[in-house]
C-alpha cells in the first residue's frame, strides 16, 4: 500500500508500508540511543558529585585527591585514565652478515649509515649505534 503526504509547499511524497516501517524503527532506535545517553550522563554526573563530595569538608577551600582517585573516577564515568610519561631504555643487539666492503671501516660506515629503527610514534626516540665488532667472514 502507498501513502501520499503533501507538504505545505504543495510537493507530494509517496510512502510505502516498508518505508513507514523503517522510519518507525529509526525513530525507536534514536529514542533508545537518547535514553541510554541520558542514563550514562546522569550516572556520570552522580559519580563526579559523589567523588568530590566524599573529599569535601564544609568550610575547606581545597579538596585533595590522588591520581589513583582521579583515575578511578575517570574509569567509572567511561573516560580515559590519566597517564604518566616514562622513559624506557634498552639494548638492541644485531648482526649483519654478508656486508660487501673494501675495508672493515667501510663495512662499519655502511651499517652505521643504513641501520634504521622503526618506531610507531607513541613517544619520541633517541638512539645511537654502537658497533662493537667487525670481522672477516
| Cα distance between residue 24 and residue 18, in whole Å | 10
CA-to-CA distance for 74 and 111, rounded, in angstroms?
48
26 pLDDT band, cuts 50/70/90, is: very high
Instruction: Give me the pLDDT at residue 25, please.
Output: 93
Query: For position 90, what pLDDT does the model report?
Result: 85
Whether 106 shows a pLDDT value over 90: the answer reads yes
- CB-based contact 137:97 (threshold 8 Å): yes
Average model confidence (pLDDT) for the chain?
89
* Cα-based distances in Å from 93 to 16, 90, 107, 113: 70, 10, 17, 17
pLDDT score, position 46: 94
Residue 47, pLDDT above cutoff 90: yes
Number of other residues whose CB lies within 10 A of the CB of residue 2: 9
Sign (positive or negative) of CA dihedral 6, 7, 11, 12: negative
How confident is residue 120, by pLDDT bands cut at 50, 70 and 90?
confident
**Above 90 in pLDDT, residue 116?**
no
Cell representation of residue 77: 564515568
Provide the pLDDT confidence category of residue 133 given band limits of 50, 70 and 90.
Answer: confident
Pick from 35-39, 83-87, 89-93, 108-112: least confident: 89-93
Amino acid at each position: 500500500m502507498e501513502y501520499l503526504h503533501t507538504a505545505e509547499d504543495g510537493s507530494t511524497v509517496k510512502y510505502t508500508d516498508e518505508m513507514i516501517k523503517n522510519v518507525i524503527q529509526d525513530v525507536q532506535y534514536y529514542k533508545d540511543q537518547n535514553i541510554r545517553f541520558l542514563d550514562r550522563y546522569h550516572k556520570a554526573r552522580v559519580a563526579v558529585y559523589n567523588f568530590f563530595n566524599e573529599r569535601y569538608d564544609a568550610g575547606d577551600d581545597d579538596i585533595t585527591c590522588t591520581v589513583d582517585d582521579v583515575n578511578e573516577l575517570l574509569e567509572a564515568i567511561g573516560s580515559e585514565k590519566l597517564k604518566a610519561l616514562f622513559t624506557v631504555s634498552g639494548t638492541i643487539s644485531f648482526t649483519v652478515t654478508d656486508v660487501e666492503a673494501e675495508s672493515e671501516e667501510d663495512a662499519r660506515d655502511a651499517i652505521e649509515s643504513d641501520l634504521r629503527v622503526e618506531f610507531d610514534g607513541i613517544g619520541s626516540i633517541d638512539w645511537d649505534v654502537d658497533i662493537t665488532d667487525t670481522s672477516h667472514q
